[in-house]
C-alpha cells in the first residue's frame, strides 16, 4: 500500500511539473550524470532532475546556473545560484547548500573557467555594499570590505598561476596571492599582469604596479618589488629575459629583478625579438642583449618585415631598412638580403613575398 502511495505521489508530481511548470533553463551535470531543469510555478522557482526528483523546492525568488550554460565553463557545471528574501546563496547540483542565504550578490568571474587548481575557483560576493571572495566550498577568502575585486588574467583573459585577486579600497589597489593568501596592502594606483618568465628553469609570474605616474614590478615567486621609476614597462622577452622600459622619456631594458641591464639611453625602442632589439639613437640599429650593437645605427628607417606569427620563419628575422631615399632588406646581423636600390619595399603575408618598386615599376621577389 505504501509503495502504491509513493508511486501515486511521483506521478502526481510529474503531472504538476508538466502542466503548471514553466521550464526556464536546463543543463546536463556530468558529476551526477543527470540533467537539471530550473522551473517556475507561479512566481516561485525550483529545480528538478530528469528522474523527477525535486532538488530545490519551488520557493525561491530566482534560481540560475552560476556560470552561463553556453560559456563552456565545466569547472562550475551544475552550481546553482538561488535567491530568497533578496539574499543569495549557492547550492550544489544535489541541492546541498554551499553557502547560507546571506549575500546581497554572488558573481561568477569568467577567468576562473581557466583555473588549474582549486585555489583559482572563487566567486565574488557582496555584503553591506562591499565585496569579498569565497572559494568553491563557500569558505570566505577575502572578507567583504572592498569597493571592487577582480581576478587578474593574461592578455587572452586566462587565469594564471599563482592566481591573484586584485582589490580596490577607496581608489587604491592591492592584491592577494590566492595560493599563499599573501596580501599586499591597498596603496597602489594600478596593478596589471606583466607576464610569465622562466628563471633558472622555474616559471615565475610578474605583475607591474604603479604609484602615481611611476611603474615598478613585483615577482610573485619571491614577493620582491623593483623601484617605482619607469613611465612604461613592457612584457619580458622569453629568450633574453629582458623587458623594455621607459625612463625619463628614454628607453632601456631591465632584468627580472627590475634592474636596468641596458641603460635608458634610446629615443625609441621595441622589445627584443630573435635576439635583437630595434632601437633609435640618432638613426636606427639593432642591439644585442649585452647592450652592444648587432647592427650599427646607420638607417633612416628600420622595421621587421613580418609579425612574429608569419608562416615562414625565414622572413621573421628579416628587416626592411631605408638609407637616404633607397630601401633594402637586411637580416639581424646586418647582412644585405636585398640591395639598397629600391624606391619602396613592403612584405605581403598572403603572397609570402616582397613587393619591390624600382624606377616606377613594381615586381615581386621571394627570399626563401
Alpha-carbon separation of residue 170 from 86, 146, 166, 180 (angstroms): 27, 8, 13, 25
Q: Give residue 68's pLDDT band: very low, low, confident or very high (50, 70, 90).
A: confident
Condensed to tens digits (0 to 9), the pLDDT of residues 203-225 reads 889 999 999 999 999 998 877 77
What is the pLDDT at residue 348?
A: 92
- What is the mean pLDDT of the segment spanning 104-122? 89
Q: Give residue 74's pLDDT band: very low, low, confident or very high (50, 70, 90).
A: confident
What is the pLDDT at residue 17?
A: 52
The domain 300-368 having CATH identifier 3.40.91: the answer here is no
What is the pLDDT at residue 16?
A: 46
Condensed to tens digits (0 to 9), the pLDDT of residues 226-284 reads 789 999 999 999 999 999 999 999 999 999 999 999 999 999 999 999 999 999 999 99
What is the pLDDT at residue 128?
A: 97
State the Cα–Cα distance between residues 26 and 19, nearest whole angstrom: 18
What is the pLDDT at residue 221?
A: 81
Condensed to tens digits (0 to 9), the pLDDT of residues 15-55 reads 345 558 899 999 999 889 999 999 999 999 999 999 999 99
DSSP class of 161: S
- What is the mean pLDDT of the segment spanning 155-176? 88
What beta strand segments (E) does 105-249 contain? Answer: 105-107, 122-127, 130-135, 140-146, 148-151, 164-169, 172-177, 182-188, 190-199, 202-211, 214-219, 224-225, 232-236, 243-247
- Average per-residue pLDDT for the chain: 89
Q: Give residue 311's pLDDT band: very low, low, confident or very high (50, 70, 90).
A: low
Residue 356 has pLDDT above 50, yes or no: yes
State the Cα–Cα distance between residues 191 and 176, nearest whole angstrom: 12
Looking at the chain, list the stretches that DSSP marks H as alpha helix, in order from N- to C-terminal side.
2-20, 313-316
What is the pLDDT at residue 113?
A: 85
What is the pLDDT at residue 9?
A: 31
Burial class of residue 350, CB neighbours in 10 A (0-12, 13-18, 19+): exposed
What is the pLDDT at residue 1?
A: 37
Break the chain into its structural domains and give their ranges. Answer: 1-102, 300-368
What is the pLDDT at residue 71?
A: 62
What is the pLDDT at residue 262?
A: 98
State the Cα–Cα distance between residues 317 and 155, nearest whole angstrom: 25
User: 241 — alpha (psi -120 to 50), left (phi > 0) or beta?
Assistant: left
Amino acid at each position: 500500500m505504501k509503495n502504491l502511495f509513493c508511486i501515486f505521489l511521483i506521478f502526481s508530481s510529474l503531472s504538476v511539473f508538466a502542466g503548471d511548470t514553466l521550464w526556464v533553463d536546463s543543463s546536463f551535470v556530468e558529476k551526477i550524470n543527470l540533467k537539471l531543469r530550473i522551473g517556475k510555478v507561479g512566481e516561485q522557482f525550483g529545480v528538478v532532475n530528469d528522474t523527477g526528483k525535486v532538488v530545490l523546492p519551488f520557493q525561491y525568488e530566482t534560481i540560475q546556473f552560476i556560470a552561463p550554460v553556453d560559456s563552456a565553463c565545466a569547472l562550475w557545471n551544475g552550481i546553482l545560484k538561488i535567491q530568497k528574501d533578496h539574499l543569495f546563496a549557492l547550492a550544489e547540483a544535489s541541492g546541498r547548500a554551499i553557502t547560507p542565504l546571506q549575500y546581497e550578490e554572488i558573481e561568477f568571474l569568467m577567468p576562473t573557467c581557466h583555473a588549474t587548481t582549486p585555489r583559482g575557483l572563487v566567486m565574488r560576493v557582496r555584503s553591506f555594499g562591499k565585496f569579498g571572495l569565497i572559494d568553491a566550498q563557500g569558505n570566505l577568502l577575502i572578507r567583504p570590505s572592498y569597493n571592487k575585486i577582480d581576478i587578474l588574467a593574461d592578455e587572452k583573459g586566462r587565469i594564471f598561476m599563482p592566481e591573484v585577486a586584485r582589490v580596490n579600497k577607496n581608489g587604491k589597489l592591492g592584491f592577494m596571492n590566492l595560493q599563499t593568501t599573501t596580501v599586499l596592502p591597498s596603496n597602489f594606483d594600478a596593478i596589471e599582469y606583466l607576464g610569465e618568465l622562466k628563471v633558472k628553469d622555474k616559471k615565475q609570474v610578474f605583475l607591474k604596479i604603479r604609484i602615481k605616474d611611476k611603474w615598478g614590478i613585483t615577482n610573485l615567486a619571491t614577493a620582491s618589488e623593483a623601484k617605482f621609476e619607469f613611465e612604461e614597462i613592457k612584457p619580458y622577452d622569453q629568450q633574453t629575459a629582458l623587458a623594455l622600459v621607459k625612463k625619463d622619456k628614454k628607453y632601456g631594458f631591465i632584468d627580472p629583478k627590475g634592474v636596468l641591464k641596458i641603460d635608458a639611453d634610446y629615443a625609441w625602442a621595441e622589445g627584443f625579438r630573435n635576439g635583437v632589439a630595434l632601437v633609435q639613437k640618432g638613426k636606427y640599429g639593432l642591439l644585442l642583449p649585452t647592450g652592444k650593437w648587432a647592427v650599427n645605427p646607420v638607417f633612416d628607417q628600420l622595421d621587421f618585415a613580418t609579425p612574429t606569427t608569419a608562416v615562414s620563419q625565414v622572413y621573421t628575422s628579416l628587416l626592411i631598412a631605408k638609407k637616404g631615399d633607397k630601401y633594402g632588406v637586411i637580416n639581424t646581423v646586418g647582412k644585405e638580403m636585398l640591395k639598397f636600390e629600391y624606391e619602396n619595399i613592403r612584405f605581403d603575408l598572403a603572397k609570402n613575398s616582397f613587393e619591390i618598386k624600382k624606377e616606377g615599376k613594381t615586381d615581386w621577389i621571394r627570399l626563401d
